A and B are shown apart, each in its own frame.
Chain A
Amino acid sequence: EPEVTQTPSHQVTQMGQEVILRCVPISNHLYFYWYRQILGQKVEFLVSFYNNEISEKSEIFDDRFSVERPDGSNFTLKIRSTKLEDSAMYFCASSEDGTNTDTQYFGPGTRLTVL
């Protein structure tokens, strides 16, 4: 069964550094998402992406965050000038057509630790 993959599984960085989290969505999917889960808290929506543009973003997704689909398979989340509060599990998801009844398929997550 096709699945969403994410690398790395765990990323440790120093505060102020830049990180790039990588995701490979399911190949025929057109809509891509990032969510995050701070330890002990809810899974929160960050951003959705379609046709090489951001469709929607949350208030968490400030100007330090960016997303990109650099090629036909990868979908990345970049965080510049990382802060301690960016430490979280980051989930990538993809869906086929983004319609009301569509299903989002999630990757296993990348645990980001900012020291």
Chain B
Amino acid sequence: AQSVTQPDIHITVSEGASLELRCNYSYGATPYLFWYVQSPGQGLQLLLKYFSGDTLVQGIKGFEAEFKRSQSSFNLRKPSVHWSDAAEYFCAVGRPGGYNKLIFGAGTRLAVHP
């Protein structure tokens, strides 16, 4: 069965520090992979997605993610975190085909210290 694991429930970083949020997936074939962010009171906003091709994907707000098939991972990175990045981050896997149902990880809550 498809599943997504985000091992870190909470992460705290200092503003300006680098960030890496981990995501591992279980899927029988190459999945479609997504990172969403949820700020308080807001909906889930897509940061980036991977379908095929270059395994390093660039997204909005300076985020990037790297697909590593051998590790079944799709970790999210940002070289320098801003206080406004404090939010909850969700990794999701989509099943190829129409009516794409997304399967989400449990989320990682990011706190940023000034």
Contact = CB atoms under 8 A, between A and B. Distances in A.
Interface of A: 3-4, 6, 31, 33, 35, 41-45, 48, 50, 55-56, 58, 91, 93, 95, 98-109
- The 3 A-B pairs with the shortest beta carbon distances in the complex, nearest first, are A106-B44, A43-B104, A55-B99
B49 A103 contact: yes
Interface string B15-35: 000000000000000001000
B100 A4 contact: no
A1 to B, nearest CB: 10
Given A55-B98, A103-B49, A108-B42, 7 more contacts: A42-B106, A43-B104, A44-B104, A45-B101, A95-B100, A105-B46, A108-B41
Nearest to A48: B99
Contacts of A45: 101-103
Interface string B81-106: 00000000010101011111111111
Contact of A109 (B43, B45, B107): B43
Interface of B: 32, 36, 41-46, 49, 51, 90, 92, 94, 96-107
A101 B51 contact: yes
A63 to B, nearest CB: 20
A63 B74 CA distance: 36
Nearest to A54: B99
B46 A43 contact: no
Contacts of A103: 46, 49
27 contacts: A3-B43, A6-B43, A31-B99, A42-B107, A43-B44, A43-B92, A43-B107, A45-B102, A50-B99, A55-B99, A58-B101, A91-B44, A98-B98, A99-B98, A99-B100, A100-B51, A100-B94, A100-B96, A100-B97, A100-B98, A100-B100, A104-B46, A105-B43, A106-B36, A106-B44, A106-B45, A108-B42
